[in-house]
Amino acid sequence: MTQHAIPRHHRAAVCAALAAAVATAPVAGAGPARAASATTSTAPATSAASAAPATSGAPATSATAPAASAVATAPRPVCVSHQPGLAGKLSRDIAAALRGRSATTALSLRDHTTHTRCTLRANQGFDSASVVKVTVLATLLWDAQHHHRALTKREKTLATAMITKSDNASTSTLWKQLTPAGIAAFLRTAGMADTVPGKDGYWGLTRITANDQERLLDLITHPNTVLSDASRGYLLSLMGKVVHAQRWGTPAGAPGDTRIHVKNGWLKRSTHGWRVHSVGAFTGGGHDYTLTVLTQDDRTMKAGVATIEAVARAVHKDLNPTARADRLYTPTDRPQEALPAVPGE
């Protein structure tokens, strides 16, 4: 559906590196979790034995953070890259950013410029909180395309409030209009097979994975047959206009010449404590990467924000080693977000 950033003759090598890394580096960390995923919906992993060797002079390399006996529970991301040394550095630095934190964290990173992928617990399910609002708008635009119509003035007003201010009432109105069945149809078309819409109108309890969120971000940032260029541009425009108090999370530490597109969410429940999530796309100035960080088991909302921003700073620094330190994006120290409604507990 979407154009591949990794050339076809390199993709087998990348997949092989991911598969080999996953086989040798099981994820450990706080809370229950599955192993880090090494697949995407457009480039399924193959076994190291069956993958074809790279034919380029810049083969993909893979790395996981080395185990440390004193930190036996430290999570170990799986990274692959066509840029020598980058996979290992990302894996080490992300692991260091997560070390000592109580949250169960999942992430998915894709950089099209360096052909880099990192994953950690990327197929584990999380309650979406407000990050699902990007899916709601994508569904609305896809549905309008299907019916060969433009969004109405009312729909644009609702969409703008939903994304830029995380307005819950607008989200509920659009969710009801689209229906869970309509949203499920978009998810199938988009290849987001592990995303399950929330029941009984509780859109904040939609089950999401880091890989599916990364798949959505890829559809938003690159030409494909699911979302038109106009739809993608509209989504990116609104994600780039999120109010300052809600521009925390994955943008932390982004280079000053980057266009930031973000959507965040948080939610507290009696099980797994705070869920705090952030999805971001970073374009312009030669940048072309997306980052999803999902957390749960956070003791506080601020702890979840801190975890995401520690990972984000490590990622931005490693992908942009020459960026000026005095121009890096600094998010608000008073983050805000809307709390979705959940059933009484």
Q: What is the CATH classification number for the domain harbouring 222? A: 3.40.710.10
Q: Tens of pLDDT along 153-212?
A: 999 999 999 999 999 999 999 999 999 999 999 999 999 999 999 999 999 999 999 999
Inside any domain, residue 143: yes
pLDDT given for residue 75 in this prediction? 59
- What's the pLDDT at 74? 55
Contact (Cβ atoms closer than 8 angstroms) between residue 337 and residue 246: yes
Whether 112 and 193 map to the same domain: the answer is: no
Tens digits of per-residue pLDDT, 281-306?
999 999 999 999 999 999 999 999 99
User: What stretch of H or E contains 184?
Assistant: helix 168-190
In a domain, 3, yes or no: no
pLDDT reported for residue 72: 40
Identity of the residue numbered 294: L
153-164 vs 229-239: helix crossing angle, rounded to 10: 50
Q: Are residues 102 and 174 in the same domain?
A: no
Q: Is residue 344 part of a domain?
A: no
Query: Is 159 in the same domain as 243?
Result: yes
| 152 burial via Cβ count (<10 Å: 0-12, 13-18, 19+) | exposed
Average pLDDT of the residues in 34-48: 35
Contact 256, 323 (CB under 8 A): yes
Residue 75 inside a domain? The answer is yes
* Residues 257 and 133 reside in one and the same domain: yes
Q: What is the pLDDT of residues 55-91, one digit of tens each?
A: 334 455 556 544 433 334 555 899 999 999 999 999 9
Closest CA to 7 of 55, 39, 49: 55
313: closest CA among 251, 253, 247?
253
Instruction: Tell me: do 35 and 67 sit in the same domain.
Output: yes
Q: Is residue 338 part of a domain?
A: no
Q: What is the pLDDT of residue 63?
A: 61
CA distance 172 to 162: 9
For residues 113 and 195, state if they share a domain. Answer: no
Are 76 and 203 within one domain? no
Interatomic CA distance for residues 209 and 128, integer angstroms: 9
Instruction: For residues 148 and 282, state if they share a domain.
Output: yes
56 and 156 fall within a common domain: no
Average model confidence (pLDDT) for the chain?
85
Percentage of residues in the chain with pLDDT exceeding 90? Answer: 77
Structural domain containing residue 171: 126-327
CB 60 within 8 A of CB 54: yes
Exposed/middle/buried for residue 169 (C-beta within 10 Å: 0-12, 13-18, 19+): exposed
Structure tokens at 331: 């998010």
Site of tokens 């990348």: 14
Assigned domain for 332 exists: no
User: pLDDT value at position 76?
Assistant: 84
**Token pair for residue 104?**
């169960």
Do 49 and 98 fall into the same domain?
A: yes
Count the domains in the chain.
Answer: 2
pLDDT score for 310: 98
For residues 175 and 150, membership in a common domain is answered with yes
**Whether 151 and 54 share a structural domain:** no
Is residue 179 one of the residues assigned to a domain?
yes
Residue 333 lies in a domain: no
Q: Which two tokens stand for residue 221?
A: 């940032």
In contact, 190 and 269? CB cutoff 8 Å: no
* Boundary of a domain, candidates 65, 89, 120: 120
Q: Does the pLDDT value for residue 46 go beyond 50?
A: no
Rounded Cα distance, 307 and 298, in Å: 9
Residue 16 pLDDT > 60, yes or no?
no
* pLDDT score at 71: 38
Read off the pLDDT of each residue in 229-240 and give the average, rounded to a whole number.
Answer: 98
DSSP 319: H
SS3 154: helix
Cα–Cα dist 251/241, whole Å: 13
